[in-house]
Amino acid sequence: MTKQYFRKPIAGLMIVVWLTSLTLPSFAAPLPDLGDASSAIVSPDQEYRLGRAWLRQLRAQVPLIHDPLIYDYLYNLVYRLASASDIERPDIALVVINNAAINAFAVPGGVMGLNGGLLLNARTEDEVGGVIAHELAHLSQRHFARGVERSQQNSWAGLAALLASIAIAATAGGEAGMAALATTQAASIDAQLRFSRANEQEADRIGMQTLVRADMNPAAMADFFEALQRSMRYYGDLPPEFLLTHPVTESRITDARARAAQLPAKPSSDSLEFHLMKMRVEVEFTRDASAKISDLENQKQESTSFLEVTEYGLSCAYLKTNQLDKALQSIDRLLSRRPTRITYIASKAEILNKAGQYDTALRLLEKGLDFSPGNYPLSVLYADALTLDNQTDKAITVLREQLTQWEAQPLLWFMLAEAHGKAGNRLGVYQSKAEYFYLYGQTTKAIEQLQYALPLARDDFHVTARISDRIAEMQHSMRDLEI
């Protein structure tokens, strides 16, 4: 797996996003005038604009996972659960944070954040589903708006503190982030504790119902909470960040078990894709890839269970250490068993692209796209292979097709800028980079890119008008955090 998808792409380079400032974002300042108690709840439209603006701020401050296979797996799992939730028309913006700590969060306006560490530490797909279902319940019950109605200052400052703590944990280190979050929690705990507990209990109850409707095990939520509580002994005074925003007590686990017992029982699913993605994340987060290869090779010799997952882990680890021939051998063994599995096709294409075998990669991906048209991971790798093979016009077409569905995916805009650059289209580069910068909370830079584009479009009235309108939209969005 290439580092590209675990890094932030900027101006042709893949670099980790580091926190540039530990100060709270602008929306920690003046609070909005929400009127009297009867109109105090923030409207859904306000929540949406606030949430998406908050997400742009988050992207600017934490390292993200853009890996198309991991993102696609989690996105589909989120939407499987969202479709079974109380959210009428799910419009969820998912962000996956490049951090091995256990954490998940929901932000008003349909923003869902998951740490890579959630996949690392969950034992089943249903446990991940339980966490997602819980967060979806916070969104469907609009707990932020209800918090604003009850206590404007605490809720508004809490959202700012959440961004700051996530950013610190993801960049300065887990302990610093947990300490920061513990401090912000303590500041408002007296005023909010009872209300927060009620929110958590409600999210547990509704989340379990969502699990049942999604044909998943309702007891998985309690299973994961119990595993988290057992892990507390290894963390001392600084528990996993998830537990600081979602306190788990014996009574809460007991209550969750009692609620699950009243719902239709279902064993946890043993999803192969979950285990493959868990392994993919595990290999990426490993500090010593050579040692990981040794461990996996030993597992392959000594164990008869999960051999397919072990083989996939070896392929990923070989790729990470540039042992491309071995990586291809491993993935080919898997493809011989499951020739139409998207994960294996995409992973082989990834290896071929890195090896410079673009023709072979393109043929493989075209075959995959024949039976899975528009598939996100296959399309990303296809566009990458086309660009690397100097077939930029075709790459641009593929990326534009993907952007009709994934308009808020920064990776696609970066790749589009790269393809336009190879094609010598400066106008396309400026427009694509503008959208990329905008999604990363760098609105001033985004507008600057569009202003560079305007003179290049002066002979085309329609393009000039679109660019001018987009500048106005971006300028207006700078006030989204001031509602």
Q: Tell me the CA distances in angstroms from 329 to 312, 319, 332, 367, one per residue in order.
A: 11, 11, 5, 20
Polymer length in residues for the chain: 483
Q: Tell me the CA distances in angstroms from 421 to 2, 242, 396, one per residue in order.
A: 21, 42, 11
**Which residues are registered as beta bridge partners of 111?**
93, 107
Q: In this structure, are residues 97 and 65 in contact, taking their beta carbons and an 8 Å threshold?
A: yes
In degrees, rounded to 5, the angle at the alpha carbon of residue 9 between the alpha carbons of residues 384 and 282 is 80
Give residue 9's pLDDT. 46
* Three-state secondary structure readout of 2-61: CHHHHCEEECCEEECCCCCCCCCCHHHCCCCCCCCHHHCCCCHHHHHHHHHHHHHHHHHH
Exposed, middle or buried by CB within 10 Å (0-12, 13-18, 19+), for 13? exposed
Q: Tell me the CA distances in angstroms from 43 to 46, 194, 215, 480, one per residue in order.
A: 5, 24, 32, 13
Q: How far is it, in rounded angstroms, from Cα 201 to Cα 97?
A: 26
Residues 6+ apart with CB under 8 A from 432: 413, 414, 416, 417, 420
H/E stretch holding 108: none
Q: Tell me, yes or no, if 204 is annotated catalytic.
A: yes
Report CA torsion sign: 457, 460, 466, 469.
positive
Three-state DSSP at 167 gives: helix
DSSP letter for 459, please. T
Percent helix, percent strand, percent coil in the chain, to nearest 5? 70, 5, 25
Instruction: Considering the candidates 135, 282, 284, 435, report the single residue annotated as catalytic.
Output: 135
- Please report, as a single letter, which amino acid is at residue 137: A
Residues 6+ apart with CB under 8 A from 261: 219
The pair phi, psi for residue 439, each rounded to 5°, is -65, -20
Q: Tell me, yes or no, if 135 is annotated catalytic.
A: yes
**Which domains, and CATH codes, for the chain?**
3-261 (no CATH), 286-389 (1.25.40.10), 402-483 (no CATH)
DSSP letter for 64, please. B
Q: Tell me the CA distances in angstroms from 4 to 8, 205, 282, 387, 390, one per residue in order.
A: 7, 39, 16, 15, 19
Q: How far is it, in rounded angstroms, from Cα 353 to Cα 361?
A: 6
Query: Over the range 47-84, which residues count as b (16 or more CB within 10 Å of their CB) and which as e?
Result: bbbbbbbbbbbbbbbbbbbbbbbbbbbbbebbebbbeb
The pair phi, psi for residue 266, each rounded to 5°, is -155, 130
Q: In this structure, are residues 430 and 416 in contact, taking their beta carbons and an 8 Å threshold?
A: no
Q: How far is it, in rounded angstroms, from Cα 407 to Cα 401?
A: 10
| pLDDT average per 10 residues of sequence, the chain (483 residues) | 48 28 32 36 77 90 95 97 90 94 85 93 94 90 56 52 60 49 44 58 89 93 82 56 63 85 84 97 96 94 83 98 98 97 98 98 98 97 98 98 97 98 98 98 97 96 97 93 62
- Please report, as a single letter, which amino acid is at residue 304: T
Report CA torsion sign: 205, 278, 57, 235.
positive
Instruction: Considering the candidates 72, 126, 200, 204, report the single residue annotated as catalytic.
Output: 204
Give residue 39's pLDDT. 36
Q: How far is it, in rounded angstroms, from Cα 468 to Cα 471?
A: 5
